[in-house]
Structure formats: structure tokens, C-alpha cells
Amino acid sequence: MTQPVASSSLLIVDDTPENIDLLVSMLALPGLQILAANSGERALALAERKQPDLILLDVMMPGIDGFETCRRLKAQAATADIPVVFVTALGDDVAKGFEAGGADYLAKPVRADEVRARVHHHLERRRLLRELQQVNAQLEQRVQERTRELVQLNRQLREEINERRFMQDRLSYLATHDFITRVYNRDALEEQVVRLLADTQRSDNGACLMLLDLARFRIVNEACGYIAGDELLRQVADMLAALCLPDDFIARLGGDRFALLCRRPPDQVMPLAQRIKGVFEGFEFVWDGRAYRIDARLAVIPIHRDFVSFDQLMTKADEAAYLVRRDGGPSVRLHRADVHEADARESVNWAYRLMDALKHQHFRVYFQRIQPLGERAAPGLRFETLVRLWDAETQRVVAPPAFIGPAERYQLIDQIDRWMLREVLGRLSASPSVLAGMSQVSVNLSAYSLRDPTLADTVLSQLQSCGFPPHKLCIEITESGAIVNLSAAKVFMETLKAHGVAFALDDFGTGFASFGYLKQLPFNSVKIDGAFVRDMDTDHANAAMVASMVQMADALALPVVAEFVERPALAERLKALGVPYAQGYLYHRPEEMTEAALQAALKPALP
């Protein structure tokens, strides 16, 4: 917003002066009078006396909180009509705010563009409501006064009626449309879906909901700013409007997600999805002379009689969108319940099982020795720790491929990583003889854990509390994890490396820019993915790939560990290439990390 609505007043309620100052600095523009209160009680008195046009209300305050303040405002006739916008950092507060009578909310930390846009939106809406009330009152008065002059004043009366209709239409538009893209909003979509579901129960004529997620939208938002991001969203909305049929219902759900409601069966909607995908393949967003490639992932969900509510349909749509992101490949996917339902249910079941496993300590620590192959290897026991899940029902150990995917989807993987770190460091620190005889232990961390800015401090605190030597810890980071979170990975690694912790690039060779990222991140060693090693004695292409990786690692003075070494012939080929370490069933099958197993591993390994 460039200018606030003329002669408007705004009340900011927050117990923290810094927050008030921040909002004042964002909104201190000519024509807008700003009032402030540092408590709910003060806000109630000030609102009744000053009658502001809008209230920005913090949730957490001493005395009466924001919710109770809002309820009391709405209970008083003098302040009941004043719109209240909650300012909160907690997503759970949103629903409570609307229940208390709030008109909108702002998420902390607040952004200047969003604050100004929403304040302008509500002040304009307030102005229109007042003008509508005034016009209605004036109209009624004029009708009574000028009944005798109806013929002469008929034209003027029609104009005033049209003005009232225009403002009513404007209010209706603001309530049902997204103010950035001018397409429908989520509330309008819900209303349409509810009607469609009712029609579907009577006659299932075929309809679909198409969910569209933008790929790389975040890059534009962070590199160019939110104004550029809003412009990109507007361009996408215009593209969709040009591609869809007049009867298709287009809505923005929030963020970079759009929905299309099509009253046609899947075989007619899928061609539309393919056309949209085709347009995005040739689409570039240009900002400040730079072009950004923006792609789209689309999921088409057929609507049938089993759907009875909007929330049920959106839950299924979210599952379908997740499957598109998880499986990769084609970016247009038709969601079939009979194909994906069992997978979705199983994934949810895994979420409960993993939460129970964390609560009841059902995870197990396994380890696999890393075998030195030549004189370049450092002395002492070196091994990698591996997480396993103990299934109490079946009394068996579950391997990671079965539960890592659900753990990542439901954001439990970071808790598993932290559990592993505590267990490994704690057990080894409790065994002085093992600790003295080992040279290094490797612990894996996922890409999701690297996003936590407090992780480095957590690792350092754990090392200190256990008395574990930092130089004996090696953290393995998968190539995909390092690349996706490059900046976070770099800060994390540099912080811990300064204290002596080593880092290994795991699954080397499976990503998209392996060699380039080796130069950007401070790794101490690389582990060649077993997919290249396991058959390099019979597959010439894989043998050449491994040789190239070893050569590159040697050029960067990084020791190499070859995984999945299962036959003596592979070990000989690796020795010939100068690979100093090997890991695989030829030397050691993973076993539970007990004191006895570690003591046995300390004995000299057979050649």
C-alpha cells in the first residue's frame, strides 16, 4: 500500500514496545493515525474512547490475552464492529482467533509488504462498509422526502442504487478472491466444492480437483523479494485463466499452490493438465533482467461419491501432491484411490509406529567395520553406525529402507538422528578400552536435520557432556542432502570442523554436481556409492566411473571408502586403484553395537 485510507486510525496492541515500534515504522504514513496500547485492559478503554478503524492485536500478553480482549471488544456495542487482526507466531492461534471474532491474522515475524497490504485491505473494507451504511441511511431518508418528486429524481435515485450495488459487489469480491492474484481464494473454493459434492451424491457426472505446486518459486522469492514473488503468482494465475475453460474454477490456496475445480471426468481433465505442464516447460519469469525457469507439479484427483466433505477431499489432494513430489519423474499424475490408498495408509501407520518407537526406545544401533586396504589407511578400528528398528509385534529387526521415507515425510527423521547421536557417543564413551582402540566412528545425518540451525550446538554439547574426542567422530552427509541444503550444510560443517569433527560425503556419485560440491564443502573423505562398486569387476562402465571418482578424490587429497565390497575380486580392483578403505559383507556384516561385538572388532581383521 502506498497511502492509507484517508482519515483512518489504527490501534496496535502489544506488551512488547519493540514490536509496537516495528509495526509503527512499517505503517507510519501520512493520513494514518496510529494509537498504541501495551495491555488488553488498556486496549479496551482506548478502543471505546477513540473508536479506531482497525486493531492489530497480539495474542500473548499479561493480564487478559489477545483472545479474551477480542471477545470483550465484540461483546460491547461501541466496539463490536471494529475489525481485529491477530498478530501471532503460532499456527494453532489462527483458529482460536477466528473463534474469538478476529477478522484476519498476521504471522510473526511480520513482513512489511504483507502488513501494509493487509492493513490497507481492512481499512478499505471498513471504509466501504461505512460508506454503504451512510448511503443506505441517506437513501432511505431521500426516498421518504422525495416521494412526491419521484418522477423528477428517478435518474438520480437509480445512480445511488447502482453505487450501493457496486460497493456490495466490491465487498463480496474482497471476501471471495485472493488479493494478490485476483483469482478465487480457499474459502470460495470450499463453497464450490461443497455444492459439487452435494450434486455428486445425487448424480456422479464426473469432476476433478487439480492441485498445482510451483517448483523453484522459493528461489524467486528469496533472490528477488516478495514483490517479485507476487508478480510471478499473478502471471501464473493469468496463464491458468487463459488455458482453462470458462466453467473451470481457479483458486489460490496460499503460498505457491493453486487449485482447479473442473466439472469433467479425468480423461478430459488430464489433457488440460498436460497442456499446463507444456506451457510451464517453456515459461521463464523475468525480473531485473534475469530469467528464472519455473516448473509445475500437478496432481489430478477424481471426485466421487466417497468424498463427503471439503476437508476430506483436500486431505486426499495433499496426499496426491506428496506422492508426485516423492516419486519424481513425470510432473503430472492422476491419483487413483485403488493404487495409492494402501500406500497412504501404510505411510500413516508408519508415522504412529515411529512415534511409539521413539517414545519406547525401540531403535537399535548397529555397526559395520570399515576395512583398511593398504598402507594409506590410518591405524585403529574404523566403523560406521547404522540405525535399525525393533518391531515388538513381529519380534524382528526392520531395515532403514522401510521406515526412513515415512520418517522424512512426517518430519521425525531429525529426532531419530539425534537419538542415534546420543546413543553412539554415550555407549562409546562408557567403554574406555573401545574408545582408546578405535580411530573413528561414522554417524549419518539426514538432509532434514541439516536445516536445524541449532544442530551444530547440539552436537558440540553432546560431545562435551560425554567426554567424547571430537576428532574420533565423522559425520556422514549424503550428497543429495548437502546439495539441497548447501548453505546450511556449509555453516554446520565449518562450525564442527573447527572443533576437530570430520565429515564424509556419502553416496558419492549419485547426485547431479558431485565434483563441484566437493570443492565447496569441507569434506575429509568420500564414500563411493555401492551401486557403482558392487559389479565394477564385470561392468566396464561402472569400473570407469569408480576410477574417475578415485582420481578426483586423490586430486583433492580426500581418502576414499568404497561401499558394498562383497567379493575378493572387488577388493583387488580397489587396491589396484589405490583405494585405502573398503566396507561390505566381505569383511563384516552389520551387527548390533554391543560391548562384546566392539571388543571383537578391535582384534586385527583377517586379510
Is 265 domain-assigned? yes
DSSP state of 40: H
The last residue of one of the domains, among 292, 308, 335, is 335
In the chain, what percentage of residues exceed pLDDT 70? Answer: 90
Residue 607: per-residue pLDDT:
39
Taking the C-alpha atoms of residue 606 and residue 53, their distance in angstroms, rounded to an integer, is 82
Q: Using an 8 Å Cβ cutoff, are 563 and 530 in contact?
A: yes
Residue 412: per-residue pLDDT:
84
CATH of the domain at 276: 3.30.70.270
- Distances, alpha carbon 550 to alpha carbons 14, 480, 545, 585, in Å: 60, 19, 9, 21
Is 344 domain-assigned? no
Is 341 domain-assigned? no
Across residues 582-590, what is the average pLDDT?
93
Taking the C-alpha atoms of residue 82 and residue 75, their distance in angstroms, rounded to an integer, is 11
DSSP assignment of 137-157: HHHHHHHHHTSTTHHHHHHHH
Instruction: Tell me the three cell numbers of residue 549.
Output: 571418482
Q: Using an 8 Å Cβ cutoff, are 391 and 398 in contact?
A: yes
Is 342 domain-assigned? no
339 band by pLDDT with thresholds 50, 70 and 90 = very low
User: Which are the contacts of 313, defined by CB distance < 8 A and separation ≥ 6?
Assistant: 193, 197, 209, 301, 303, 307
Taking the C-alpha atoms of residue 595 and residue 211, their distance in angstroms, rounded to an integer, is 53
User: Which are the contacts of 181, defined by CB distance < 8 A and separation ≥ 6?
Assistant: 233, 234, 236, 237, 252
Q: Do residue 439 and residue 362 come from a single domain?
A: yes
Q: Using an 8 Å Cβ cutoff, are 476 and 385 in contact?
A: no
Taking the C-alpha atoms of residue 38 and residue 12, their distance in angstroms, rounded to an integer, is 8
Residue 150: per-residue pLDDT:
66
Q: Which domain holds residue 154?
A: 8-176
Coil/strand/helix, residue 427: helix
How does 274-312 read in b/e, with b if 16+ C-beta sit within 10 Å?
A: eebbeebeeeebebeeeebebebbbbbbbbeeebeebee
Is the pLDDT at 385 greater than 90, yes or no? yes
Q: Which helix (H) or strand (E) holds 188?
A: helix 186-202
- Distances, alpha carbon 183 to alpha carbons 104, 235, 318, 377, in Å: 19, 11, 21, 63
Q: Do residue 330 and residue 357 come from a single domain?
A: no
Distance of CA 286 to the CA centre of its chain: 25
* Region of poorest pLDDT, from 163-167, 292-296, 547-551: 163-167
The last residue of one of the domains, among 176, 202, 223, is 176
Taking the C-alpha atoms of residue 466 and residue 196, their distance in angstroms, rounded to an integer, is 61
Q: Do residue 422 and residue 494 come from a single domain?
A: yes
Is 606 domain-assigned? no
Q: Do residue 367 and residue 248 come from a single domain?
A: no
585 band by pLDDT with thresholds 50, 70 and 90 = very high
Q: Using an 8 Å Cβ cutoff, are 577 and 542 in contact?
A: no
Q: Do residue 311 and residue 366 come from a single domain?
A: no
Q: Using an 8 Å Cβ cutoff, are 26 and 116 in contact?
A: yes
Counting other chains too, the contacts that 546-549 makes at CB distance below 8 Å and 24 or more residues apart are: 546/574, 546/577, 547/577, 549/508, 549/509, 549/514
**250 bridge partner residues:** 260
Q: Using an 8 Å Cβ cutoff, are 598 and 434 in contact?
A: yes
216-273 tens-digit pLDDT:
787 787 778 889 889 999 999 999 999 999 889 999 988 888 999 999 999 999 999 9
Counting other chains too, the contacts that 531-538 makes at CB distance below 8 Å and 24 or more residues apart are: 531/564, 533/562, 533/563, 533/564, 533/565, 533/570, 533/574, 533/584, 534/564, 534/566, 534/570, 536/570, 536/573, 537/567, 537/569, 537/570, 537/573
The last residue of one of the domains, among 118, 147, 176, is 176
Residue 240: per-residue pLDDT:
93
What beta strand segments (E) does 141-283 contain?
207-215, 249-254, 257-262
559 band by pLDDT with thresholds 50, 70 and 90 = very high
What is the pLDDT of the chain when averaged over all its residues? 85
430-439 tens-digit pLDDT:
999 999 999 9
Residue 466: per-residue pLDDT:
92
Residue 83: per-residue pLDDT:
93
DSSP assignment of 50-81: H--SEEEEES--SSS-HHHHHHHHHHSTTTTT
Is 340 domain-assigned? no
169 band by pLDDT with thresholds 50, 70 and 90 = low
Taking the C-alpha atoms of residue 450 and residue 481, their distance in angstroms, rounded to an integer, is 8
Residue 238: per-residue pLDDT:
93
- Distances, alpha carbon 112 to alpha carbons 23, 59, 132, 230, 568, in Å: 8, 19, 30, 14, 64
Among 86, 94, 448, smallest CA distance to 254 is for 94
Relative to beta strand 581-582, strand 371-372 is: antiparallel
Taking the C-alpha atoms of residue 100 and residue 500, their distance in angstroms, rounded to an integer, is 54
465-504 tens-digit pLDDT:
999 999 999 999 875 555 556 777 888 999 999 999 999 9
Is 162 domain-assigned? yes
Is the pLDDT at 418 greater than 90, yes or no? yes
294-304 tens-digit pLDDT:
888 898 999 88
Q: Would you tell me how many other CB atoms lie within 10 Å of the CB of residue 6? A: 10
Q: Do residue 240 and residue 355 come from a single domain?
A: no
> Looking at per-residue confidence, does 114 or 321 come out higher?
114
Is the pLDDT at 458 greater than 90, yes or no? yes
- Distances, alpha carbon 188 to alpha carbons 74, 159, 209, 368, 521, in Å: 26, 30, 14, 57, 48
Q: Do residue 204 and residue 304 come from a single domain?
A: yes
Is 322 domain-assigned? yes
CATH of the domain at 355: 3.20.20.450
104-138 tens-digit pLDDT:
888 888 888 888 888 888 888 888 888 888 888 88
Q: Do residue 469 and residue 531 come from a single domain?
A: yes
CA torsion sign for 199, 202, 207, 212 is positive
CATH of the domain at 141: 3.40.50.2300
Total domain count for the chain?
3
Residue 512: per-residue pLDDT:
41
Statement: the pTM of the whole predicted model exceeds 0.75: no
Among 277, 292, 283, 297, smallest CA distance to 220 is for 292
Measured N-to-C along each axis, helices 486-497 and 455-466 cross at an angle, to the nearest 10 degrees, of 30
> Looking at per-residue confidence, does 393 or 17 come out higher?
17
Q: Do residue 261 and residue 399 come from a single domain?
A: no
Q: Do residue 192 and residue 145 come from a single domain?
A: no
Q: Do residue 438 and residue 539 come from a single domain?
A: yes
Among 8, 3, 2, 1, smallest CA distance to 129 is for 8
**441 bridge partner residues:** 383, 473
Taking the C-alpha atoms of residue 422 and residue 459, their distance in angstroms, rounded to an integer, is 9
Taking the C-alpha atoms of residue 481 and residue 486, their distance in angstroms, rounded to an integer, is 8
Q: Would you tell me how many other CB atoms lie within 10 Å of the CB of residue 252? A: 25
Taking the C-alpha atoms of residue 590 and residue 563, their distance in angstroms, rounded to an integer, is 13
Residue 577: per-residue pLDDT:
92
Is the pLDDT at 462 greater than 80, yes or no? yes
Instruction: Tell me the three cell numbers of residue 15.
Output: 506488551
* Region of poorest pLDDT, from 189-193, 259-263, 390-394, 414-418: 390-394
327 band by pLDDT with thresholds 50, 70 and 90 = low
Among 119, 126, 138, smallest CA distance to 167 is for 126
Coil/strand/helix, residue 312: helix
Q: Do residue 288 and residue 355 come from a single domain?
A: no
